[in-house]
Structure formats: structure tokens, C-alpha cells
Amino acid sequence: MPFSNKVDYIPNMSGGGYDPLAVQEQKKVQTRRWQVLVGVFLFVLTIANIFIWSRAPEFRSQAIMHFAYTTQNAQELDYIAQQQLSLNQQRLTSNSLLQALSIKLREEHLIDLNVQQLKEMLSATASETGKIITLQTVGSTPELLKSVLQQWLSLYTSLLERERVSNGSDEILQYQQQLTVLEQKIAQQKQVINEFSQANNIVSSERNDNRIPNKIKGLGISLDEAEEQKTQALAELDSINESLANGQLIERPVDKASIEVNRAAVQELAAELSALSEKYTQEYLQRDPEVVAKQQKFSSLSKDLEQQIADSQLLYLQDSRRNLAVSVSKVNALREQLADFQDQAQDFNQKLEQYRRLDESLKELQSQAQTLKNQLVAQEVSKPFDAKISILEQPFTPEFPIGPNYWQDTLISIVAAILLAVMALLLFSFIVRQKSLPVGGTNFVVMPGQQHGNHYAELQGAEQAKLGARAQPLQLGEQHAPQTTIRLLTTAECQSLYNVANKQAKVVISLLLSGVDATELGKITKGDFVHVYTQLQIPGTYARQVKLTKQLAIIIEQLCEGLQVDDSLWTNPLSIEDFCQLIINAGHDAELPYPEQLSTEVLRHTYLTYLVSQGVRLNDLEQLSGYLKPADLAKYRAVNRHGKSVDIEQIDSIFPLTYSDANPDIET
């Protein structure tokens, strides 16, 4: 007898029935978990932020002391200088110095701070590479910080000065004081010299580098040039007068070119007329109009030439007289200017001599200062560890706080609150353990029916063991109770089934794994496919549109070739039993275990489990797969949803049949 395709779902009650009290207790425990998590988080966050935001802002003022040692010390005995710097740092925060500072602040500035408070406020940081000590005061009152730091710095510098005097360092101090006085005098002398030089237009102690001597020198050179021009103009005028007295013609150099042109024209006409007079008689020449015109032109050009020469001679004489007059006036003007500057030069010489005396005085002061510097260096070399202290940065009143960083601390408190809340939740979960719910009524067994007249219970023990070992589990709900295996195809098995199937079987498998019921398969016509065979329109009460893959659309298009709109998709009418046989045949070809268990119901069950595992709500299944009996629908309540429930628009309704990277096995 052939193997039956019917799938029976048998409730497994071995773990007990449904316990509503246990479910209620589970919900209470879950609610308490949330309360512990949120409560601890809010409690820690509130306490931490109260502490964070209630703190007063902190301000900081600082001063920088620089300890300068001699060059010899820096090169040869640097480690001793570092020890001296460390010693100064320790003395700055010593108890005796802080006690003296506390007394001074109380008596002179009415600031009451004890030694403990000063230790918390004050700090000294040494930098051996830079030979500096940074003094800092920290507190919540900006005005107080500057006063305390000033008195601290003043007290320590005075202490060092007293020690220097007692150790014989007063000679160095005396040299330093004398050097300071000399530097002040030098600065004053430089200012006097600058003011004197600006007032008297003196730029150098050298006479020729100043403006007035240079001006006198320039005027002398200009006067010599003017005298030479005057002599040349006078000689030129005498030459012209002598030529005129001798009756010589004189032409201006600028007029010579035009005079020569007119003279050449006159000579050319004279030559032509002379040639004509030799060739023709005088009577003929007087009657020939061309000859007469040339004679008239010659007469006119001769007169113009004489007049041009006379005008050029007159203009030449006038130009010479004018040049002589200009030269004479220029010489007279330069002599007057030179006479005026000679008087200024005498006064400038006196001022220059006074400037030289002031400059000599300045050089003498600078020489004395250099001598004192040499003596001071000698003293410092003889006492290499007496550092010269200078204040690089004076104490100041801070304008903005340095801390605390409220927002950073708030962020840290949030992270700490989250961690503590998670730890509290884990501790609560460890103390209060959740009871396991019974799983009776949530497991289903797929019975293979009969094979060769034998029920599944009547099969031989070896066959039952083989079937139980190779059957695929459908895991519904919790795993605490013993499970009974049923046949649920994995993604890999469905893909193997599809790959070896023929065209009709591929269409049957794909449509069943797309939400089409077995009763709807035999009613499909060519006209039910729309949008170039990429969608199947299911009519009726549960009308819907089923999305199809591109590969399936190509196969359906081939099957529908030559069919009319109302023709059935199948060449011969097929029943549900026929569809089951197509699936079983494909299972044999794919070498799946126990292919006789395959049926349309198994594929439909696999597809519904695929949808529910994605988070599809049970009440939304009919929109994708058509009508489901309430009893059948209830069987999927315990399918493990990998996440929260989602809308059907957010899930993938196409079962992965043709993808090379198949999805993991579906578990329920």
C-alpha cells in the first residue's frame, strides 16, 4: 500500500498541562527585573549627579620662578643644580614656611588659614630641564588665591635674600644694585642723546654724515658747475659778437639743417637758369613762361634764404645773451645760499661737538656697566650655586574655573549607573531564579501514516530507530521537556528538492513555499499571473497577490507558452495527490531521507514556520498564505520568533530557494 501523505499533529502532554499561575509568576519576576534595572540605574544616577553638581567650581592662580645658574655650572655640575632646584621645591611646601605664611596672612591681611588648609591650597612643581618652579594655589575664591600666592612668593624670596646676606652673598647683591643703577643712567643718557640729535638734526658724530655739511658740500659743487656754465655762455656770446663785427654769417645749430635745404634749392635753380641762358637768347627766356616761373621762384627762394639766415643770426645772439643771464643769476643765487649755510654750519659745528661729548659720556657709562658685569660674572663663578631668581609669571586673579568638569563627570556617572544596574540585575537573577514553564501541548508529532499496510507504530525497530535518527526536529517553545521529532524541512533540503525537480515540480514547490494552498494549485490559470509572471493573483475570499522570483517567472512563462488566458497552468488536470507525488519524486532524486514523508502539507508547514520565525503575527498569516483553521493556526504560537513581532511589509515573504548562500535552518 503506498505511503499516506496525511500529516497528523498529536499533542505531547508528557510535561504536564498549561499552568496559568506559573505564567503569572514568570511575568511578575520579569517585571521585578525591570524594576531592579531601572530603579538601581535611576538611584545611582541621581545620587551621583547630586554630588557632581553640588560641588563648587575650583579656580587656580600660579606664578613661575626661574633659577638661573652660571654657564660653568650648567655644563659641568648640572646634577648639583638639579638637587638645589629640588631642595627649593621642598622648602616651598615645608611646614615651617607654611606656618610663617599663615601668621603673615593673619596679621597683615586678615586672612585666617591654618597650615592644613594651606597644604591643600598650595603646590610647587619643579621642572629640572627648564630650571623653573611653578607655584599654584587652588580654591573656590579667585580673589583670595592671588593674595595668598603673592605673600607665599614674597616670603620665600625674602628668606632666600636673608640667607644670601648671611652666607656672604651681599657683594653680588651690591654689584647687581650698582649695575641696575648704571643701566638706568645708560637708558636716560640714550634718551637725552636721541632727543638732542632729533632736535638738531644730527644723525652721526661724523661731520660728513649729517645733513648741513652734506648740503654745504652739495652747494659748493653746484656753484662750481654754475661758474663753469657762466664762463661757457660768456665765451659763446663774445664769439658771436666778434663774428658779427667781422661780417661773418652765423647760424643757430638748430637752424642749419633747414638753411642748408633752402640753400641747395637756390643753387639748383641758379644752375638750371645758367644752363638755359647759355642755350637760349635773353628774349626767348623772357617769353618762355616756365623759365619766367623759375626765375621768379629763384628770386623768392633767394630772399627767403637771406631772411632765414638773418633771423637765425638774431635768435642765436638772443639765446646766447639769455643763457649768460641765466648762468649769472644761478651763480648769484648759489652764492647767497652758500653764505646762509655757512652761518648754519658754524652753529651745527657747536651742536655736533656737544653731541660728541654726550656720546662719549654714554660710552663711558657703558664701559663701567660692562666692567660691573664682568665682576658679577666672576663672583657668580666663584659661587656657582647661588642662583639668580627671576619671576617669569606674576600671580594673577583667575577669571574662569579649571574644574570640575560637570558634563564629563555626568557622562561617567551614567556609564557607572548602567554597569551597577546590570550587576544588580544579574545578582537579582541569581537570587530569584525563574521557574520553568511546562511545555505540554506545545509539541507536535508528524506521523508518516502507513507504508505497505503497516502503521508507523508497527514498523520494525531498526526502521523506527533510523527514522527517528534522521527526522528533522521542529522545536516549539522551551527545551526543558522531552521533545518528539517531526518532519520539518530545512532550507538546504528545500533547495535540494527544488534543484533536482522538473519544471512542473519546481512550480509546485515554489508556489507552496510562497503561500499558495494545495487546494488553490489546481485552479491556477494563465490569466492569474500578472506583471510579467512576477506575481500570482489568487481570487476568492482570501484574495491576495503572491510575489514570485525571477527564476520562477521564467519557468512559468515557458509553461504558459501557447496557452489561452483562461487555460489551466497544468497540461493535464492534477489533484492534490498528484502534487504530492511530484514532490516525493523530487525527494527521491534529491536523495532526501524518507522522501515518502514529503507532501504539500509538509512544504506549507515549512513555509508558515519560516514566516512566523521572522516575527509575522499569527493573525497576519492568512494575508500571505490564505485560509488557516484556528486549530492549525494555534500550532504556531510557540514557534521561536527571533525578535519582536513585525508587520508583514517588513519581512521577506519569498522562501530562499535559489540563493547560493542559503539561510540557516529554521527552528521552532
603-660 tens-digit pLDDT: 989 999 988 888 888 888 888 888 888 888 888 887 877 777 888 888 888 888 864 3
pTM of the model: 0.33
Domain ranges of the chain: 20-55+404-431, 59-169+389-393, 208-382, 450-650
pLDDT at 459: 36
Whether the predicted pLDDT of 47 surpasses 90: yes
Range name among 432-436, 464-468, 514-518 with the lowest pLDDT average: 464-468
pLDDT at 182: 85
Range name among 179-193, 256-270, 595-609 with the lowest pLDDT average: 256-270
Range name among 203-212, 462-471, 520-529, 606-615 with the lowest pLDDT average: 462-471
- Closest among 621, 614, 623 to 644, alpha carbons compared: 614
Classify 59-169+389-393 by CATH class.
alpha beta
pLDDT at 458: 36
Classify 450-650 by CATH class.
mainly alpha
pLDDT at 43: 95
For the chain, first and last CA: distance in Å? Answer: 32
Ramachandran class of 643: left when φ > 0, alpha when ψ lies in -120 to 50, beta otherwise: left
The DSSP symbol for 2 reads: P
Helix-, strand-, coil-residue percentages of the chain, each rounded to 5: 65, 10, 30
pLDDT at 482: 39
pLDDT at 320: 79
pLDDT at 83: 80
**Alpha carbons 116 and 135: distance in angstroms, whole number:** 17
Whether the predicted pLDDT of 147 surpasses 60: yes
Neighbours of 193 (CB within 10 A): 16
Looking at the chain, the whole-number percentage of residues with pLDDT higher than 90 is 14
CB 33 within 8 A of CB 425: yes
Range name among 137-151, 159-173, 564-578 with the lowest pLDDT average: 159-173
Whether the predicted pLDDT of 241 surpasses 80: no
* pLDDT, greater one: 442 or 545: 545
**Alpha carbons 600 and 536: distance in angstroms, whole number:** 18
Q: What is the largest CA-CA distance in the chain?
A: 176
pLDDT at 414: 95
Whether the predicted pLDDT of 288 surpasses 80: no
Q: Report the chain's mean pLDDT, rounded to a whole number.
A: 77
Range name among 93-102, 344-353, 367-376 with the lowest pLDDT average: 344-353
pLDDT at 454: 37
Whether the predicted pLDDT of 662 surpasses 60: no
pLDDT at 271: 80
At 442, the pLDDT band (50, 70, 90 cuts) reads: very low
At 577, the pLDDT band (50, 70, 90 cuts) reads: very high
Question: What is the pLDDT averaged over residues 240-261?
Answer: 73
pLDDT at 449: 37
pLDDT at 285: 73
ω before 539 within 30° of 0 (cis)? Answer: no
CB 516 within 8 A of CB 538: yes
* pLDDT, greater one: 324 or 587: 587
Range name among 195-204, 514-523, 527-536 with the lowest pLDDT average: 195-204
Question: What is the pLDDT averaged over residues 13-21?
Answer: 47
pLDDT at 281: 75
* pLDDT, greater one: 492 or 85: 492
| Burial class for 581, CB neighbours closer than 10 Å (0-12, 13-18, 19+) | middle
Question: What is the pLDDT averaged over residues 292-317?
Answer: 78
The set of residues, in sequence order, having a beta carbon less than 8 Å from that of 295 and lying 6+ positions away, is 273, 285
**Alpha carbons 498 and 535: distance in angstroms, whole number:** 19
pLDDT at 444: 40
Whether the predicted pLDDT of 13 surpasses 80: no
The DSSP symbol for 477 reads: S
Strand partners, 230: none
pLDDT at 344: 64
pLDDT at 209: 56
Q: Dihedral, CA atoms, 273, 277, 278, 279, nearest 10 degrees?
A: 100
Planar angle of CA 347, 348, 354, nearest 5 degrees: 100
pLDDT at 248: 67
**Alpha carbons 250 and 256: distance in angstroms, whole number:** 10
Question: What is the pLDDT averaged over residues 224-231?
Answer: 78
CB 108 within 8 A of CB 147: no
Whether the predicted pLDDT of 41 surpasses 90: yes
Grid coordinates given for 1: 500500500
At 26, the pLDDT band (50, 70, 90 cuts) reads: confident
At 168, the pLDDT band (50, 70, 90 cuts) reads: low
Question: What is the pLDDT averaged over residues 141-150?
Answer: 87
At 475, the pLDDT band (50, 70, 90 cuts) reads: very low
Range name among 155-159, 332-336, 343-347, 442-446 with the lowest pLDDT average: 442-446
Whether the predicted pLDDT of 452 surpasses 50: no
pLDDT at 424: 92
Ordered alpha helix ranges (H), 383-453: 406-431
